[in-house]
Amino acid sequence: MAAKRSKEVERKYDVTDTTVSPSFEGLAAVARVEQVAPQQLDAVYYDTAGGDLARNRITLRRRTGGTDEGWHLKLPGDGDARTEIQAPLADTLPDELRDVVLAIVRDRELAPVARIRNARQLQRLYDAAGALLAEFCDDHVTATAGDGDEQRWREWELELGTGNKALLNRLGTRLLDAGATPAGHAAKLARVLGDPPPSPPVTDDPIHRAVAQHVTELAHWDRAVRADEWDSVHQMRVTIRKLRSLLKESEESFGLTEDSWVLDELRQLAAILGVARDAEVLAEKHQQTLDELDPDLIRGPVRERLVDGSRRRYDVGLRRSVTAMRSARYFRLLDALDELATAEPMPAEEHAAEPGNLGGAYKRLRKSVKTAKAAEHTPDRDEALHRIRKSAKRLRYTASAIGRRKVYEAAKTVQTLLGDHQDAHVSRTHLAQQADAAHAAGEDTFTYGVLYQREDDLMQQRRGELNAALDQLKKAIGH
């Protein structure tokens, strides 16, 4: 049985041994209250020796007893909400769950850190149609951690079912009126172990702060890619490129050189993700274009070749990406990024460029513009324009890190224009290849020509808009 993912919305309350459980009679929407037979729950919680999961507000347990025994992984969310992933009971941690937190635990051992036993009295609240609105748990807890003393306490828990937040608030009011107080910890494990070890502090340097933020984002998008969430490959790739750009623009501050292995590993990781991302872009682009096209202009199995074929290439690229993200090589890259994010900046020379080397980034963009103008009527034109886009992207990331909003927006405009140009260029090349394949198979190739011309028109339009965007960027820089 595959792991099951769900959203959990719950609140916890502290109570004494003598506190009387509340009644839920008379509450609007609650038609029936079911008393469930007492449950004996026994859970062993796991973490690394350094408390990596706790530091990231993640809990992992193997629980027996109750209706949902098995392995439970809980990920942080907003407010009272968390994402819970459940896998069937097994002696060892299922790979499917470990994979979710690999960017955090890497190849470090996950070992038991606490045992929590719980005598639970459970009430289920239903509406008139029989839908489960919420559950109320009265828990008597016994917990141990390592060689520590046994801890005992009682707590109440409200977990929302199909009910809404207004119902959760009304139920919570009943608990408070009965003598409960909001729990001092969001999870039982946090009460047993106390506060997790603090993360290494980040310096006040804006570039280091930006790198630290992107390293955190990388772990988030790592989980999303493994779950194949929409647009996650793109977002992870963008985060990697932001990191590489900031590190490259501020090499001396981080003690790096242009040929640093960290920069090379980031480049190669982005390239691996790029296989899936390029296929994803083509699938979406062809789908949208074909939906907009007059049906009379669509001849032959065009959708199967363009859309379905791109989606199959995406699946292959995604599997290749996840394989790379399970390697020791990837883990060592994450270790290195953690160290760079929290390291003290290297002493700057008195003649150093402005923070983040914005001037250097703009100088490289101007050089790429000059090269593109020289290649305007040559076969190298499209690649030269793509290099302007790359330069604009690096300038944008640097401007964002140091708070130069106008430069950021102007560079983003240039990047977007040339991004459309590059996507159309890639699509046009793909269309020509698929037209050849269709012709070899004896299929009608008329539609490929129509789509090719649309992409060519878009490329010409974006080139026509480029000079005005570059002028705006020049004004934003102040040159």
10-42 exposure pattern, b = at least 16 Cβ within 10 A, e = fewer: bbbbbbeeebeebebeebebbeeeeeeeebebe
Least confident range from 31-45, 221-235, 243-257, 458-472: namely 243-257
Q: What is the pLDDT of residue 106?
A: 96
Do the Cβ atoms of 155 and 12 come closer than 8 Å? Answer: yes
Q: How far is CA 417 from CA 37, 98, 283, 467, in A?
A: 63, 41, 20, 11
Q: What is the pLDDT of residue 351?
A: 37
Is residue 346 scored above 80 in pLDDT? no
Q: pLDDT-based confidence at 185, cuts 50/70/90?
A: confident
Q: What is the pLDDT of residue 256?
A: 84
Q: For 447-452, what is the mean pLDDT?
A: 97
CA distance 190 to 54: 8
Long-range contacts of 212-221 (CB under 8 A, 24+ apart): 212/341, 212/342, 214/239, 214/242, 214/243, 214/246, 215/243, 215/334, 215/337, 215/338, 215/341, 218/103, 218/243, 218/334, 218/337, 219/56, 219/103, 219/104, 219/334
CA distance 198 to 267: 31
3-class SS of residue 128:
coil
Q: 169-178: per-residue pLDDT in tens? A: 999 999 999 9
CA distance 41 to 365: 62
Q: pLDDT-based confidence at 451, cuts 50/70/90?
A: very high
CA distance 275 to 310: 11
Do the Cβ atoms of 412 and 396 come closer than 8 Å? Answer: yes
Q: What DSSP assignment string belongs to 2-68?
A: --EEEEEEEEEEEE-TTPPPPP-TT-TT--EEEEEEEEEEEEEEEE-TT-HHHHTT-EEEEEESSTT
Do the Cβ atoms of 415 and 389 come closer than 8 Å? Answer: yes
Is residue 348 scored above 70 in pLDDT? no
One-letter identity of residue 256: L
Pairing state between β 111-126 and 81-87: unpaired
Do the Cβ atoms of 161 and 30 come closer than 8 Å? Answer: no
Q: What DSSP assignment string belongs to 451-470?
A: HHHHHHHHHHHHHHHHHHHH
Q: For 319-333, what is the mean pLDDT?
A: 97
Q: Phi and psi dihedrals of 351, rounded to 5?
A: -95, 15
Q: What is the pLDDT of residue 8?
A: 93
Residue 174, H or E segment? helix 165-177
Closest to 49 measured CA to CA, from 187, 196, 191, 212:
196
CA distance 238 to 236: 5
Q: For 261-267, what is the mean pLDDT?
A: 95
Q: pLDDT-based confidence at 35, cuts 50/70/90?
A: very high
- What fold, for 207-477? CHAD domain (1.40.20)
Q: 207-241: per-residue pLDDT in tens? A: 888 899 999 999 999 999 999 999 999 999 999 99
Q: 350-403: per-residue pLDDT in tens? A: 434 444 578 888 999 999 999 999 999 999 999 999 999 999 998 998 898 888
Q: pLDDT-based confidence at 119, cuts 50/70/90?
A: very high
Q: What is the pLDDT of residue 195?
A: 82
For the record, the structure tokens of 344 come out as 């003290």
Find where tokens 């060892």 sit: 92
Q: Output the pTM of the full model.
A: 0.85
**Which has more confidence, 351 or 54?**
54
Q: pLDDT-based confidence at 405, cuts 50/70/90?
A: very high
Q: Residue 222: which region, alpha, beta or left (left: phi > 0; alpha: psi -120 to 50)?
A: alpha
Q: What is the pLDDT of residue 479?
A: 59
Is residue 2 scored above 80 in pLDDT? no
For the record, the structure tokens of 23 come out as 């009644």
- Torsion sign over Cα 150, 55, 71, 175: positive
Is residue 97 scored above 50 in pLDDT? yes
CA distance 464 to 257: 38
How many angstroms separate the first and last alpha carbons of the chain?
62
Q: pLDDT-based confidence at 80, cuts 50/70/90?
A: confident
Q: 15-24: per-residue pLDDT in tens? A: 999 999 999 9
CA distance 333 to 126: 50
CA distance 466 to 368: 13
CA distance 240 to 243: 5
Q: What is the pLDDT of residue 352?
A: 44
Q: For 33-55, what is the mean pLDDT?
A: 95
Find where tokens 């062809």 sit: 286
3-class SS of residue 231:
coil
Enumerate the domain spans of the chain: 4-193, 207-477
> 4-193 domain in CATH 2.40.320.10?
yes
CA distance 354 to 198: 32
Q: 189-213: per-residue pLDDT in tens? A: 999 998 887 777 777 788 888 899 9
CA distance 43 to 207: 43
Q: For 140-168, what is the mean pLDDT?
A: 94
Is residue 446 scored above 80 in pLDDT? yes
CB atoms within 10 A of CB 377: 7
For the record, the structure tokens of 34 come out as 């079911």
For the record, the structure tokens of 2 come out as 């595959």
Q: What is the pLDDT of residue 347?
A: 63
Q: For 21-32, what is the mean pLDDT?
A: 90
Q: For 428-449, what is the mean pLDDT?
A: 97
Do the Cβ atoms of 104 and 334 come closer than 8 Å? Answer: no
Find where tokens 């609140």 sit: 11
* Averaged pLDDT of the chain: 92
For the record, the structure tokens of 396 come out as 């944008």
